[in-house]
């Protein structure tokens, strides 16, 4: 495994430079929006880290799939996987290496985003408003991070399974959106069967329940369907797919 090599291979391209710049702008913008502007809208003129993290989760839920899919599937789409396999024929090692590289990049981005959230909340609360609220930081971390981890796992799984940037991105961003919509529809209909079916593919809700410690075996179903199975199939395909 050579995660440092894959990290460099991902970061040294023009496309990656553009993506990272856009990601940075989005994170800074949303952190500012969440932390600095809260006192202007909240009744007590405070700035709450929990709210800032919720605002930041919007860009992160887009940035994470894009980066994860690009790192694991990008070389298949642009054809450069051929050179990678010619130099490193141990394919599963390359796959593991890319997954580690993706996790490292995203962990760094999330850490940066959370640090920025704390900073803008403090500035917004202490310097602009009437005080910063960090009392719920621990709970917010758990809740938000587990949700982001679910997005990362799902994105990696579809990237590995589909081995295509475009299709992978559509699946990684589109499926959670469809599931979210289906959940709302199921609740409107009030059908227990429909709600169970949707719950079986609702990774976000399952992750939240798992984090709270109240999970049953049912919460493992989305994890198996949306993460484990695609990842296992993708690993098999990764190892056996012919490179044109």
Buried b (16+ CB within 10 A) or exposed e, 161-180: bbbbbebbbebbbebbeebe
CB nearer other proteins, residue 2 or residue 199: 2
* Binding of other proteins by 9 (CB under 8 A): yes
Q: What is the DSSP string of 174-236?
A: HHHHHHHHHHHHHHHHT-HHHHHHHHTT-HHHHHHHHHHT---GGGHHHHIIIIIHHHHHHHH
Contacting other proteins (CB under 8 A), which of 21, 80, 142, 181?
Answer: 80
* Binding of other proteins by 8 (CB under 8 A): yes
Q: Which residues contact 139 (CB under 8 A, 6 or more apart)?
A: 50
Shortest spacing between CB 86 and other proteins, in angstroms? 5
* Binding of other proteins by 188 (CB under 8 A): no
Contacting other proteins (CB under 8 A), which of 82, 135, 189, 191?
Answer: 82
Shortest spacing between CB 99 and other proteins, in angstroms? 18
As a residue count, the chain comes to: 244
* Binding of other proteins by 90 (CB under 8 A): yes
* Binding of other proteins by 15 (CB under 8 A): yes
Q: Which residues bind other proteins (CB under 8 A)?
A: 2, 5, 8-9, 12-16, 75, 78-90, 240, 242-244
């Amino acid at each position: 495994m050579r995660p440092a090599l894959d990290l460099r291979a991902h970061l040294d391209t023009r496309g990656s430079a553009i993506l990272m710049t856009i990601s940075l702008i989005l994170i800074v913008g949303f952190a500012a929006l969440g932390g600095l502007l809260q006192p202007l809208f909240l009744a007590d003129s405070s700035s709450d880290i929990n709210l800032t993290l919720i605002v930041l989760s919007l860009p992160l839920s887009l940035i994470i799939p894009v980066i994860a899919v690009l790192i694991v599937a990008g070389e298949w789409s642009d054809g450069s996987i051929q050179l990678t396999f010619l130099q490193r024929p141990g394919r599963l090692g390359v796959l593991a290496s890319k997954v580690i590289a993706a996790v490292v990049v995203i962990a760094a981005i999330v850490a940066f985003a959370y640090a920025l959230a704390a900073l803008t909340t403090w500035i917004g609360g202490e310097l602009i408003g009437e005080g910063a609220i960090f009392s719920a930081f621990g709970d917010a971390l758990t809740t938000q991070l587990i949700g982001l981890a679910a997005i990362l796992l799902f994105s990696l799984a579809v990237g590995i399974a589909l081995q295509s940037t475009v299709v992978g991105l559509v699946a990684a961003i589109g499926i959670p959106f469809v599931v979210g919509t289906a959940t709302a529809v199921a609740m409107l209909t009030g059908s227990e069967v429909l709600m169970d079916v949707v719950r079986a593919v609702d990774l976000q809700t399952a992750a939240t329940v798992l984090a709270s410690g109240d999970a049953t075996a049912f919460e493992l179903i989305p994890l198996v369907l949306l993460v484990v199975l695609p990842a296992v199939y993708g690993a098999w395909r990764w190892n056996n797919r012919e490179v044109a």
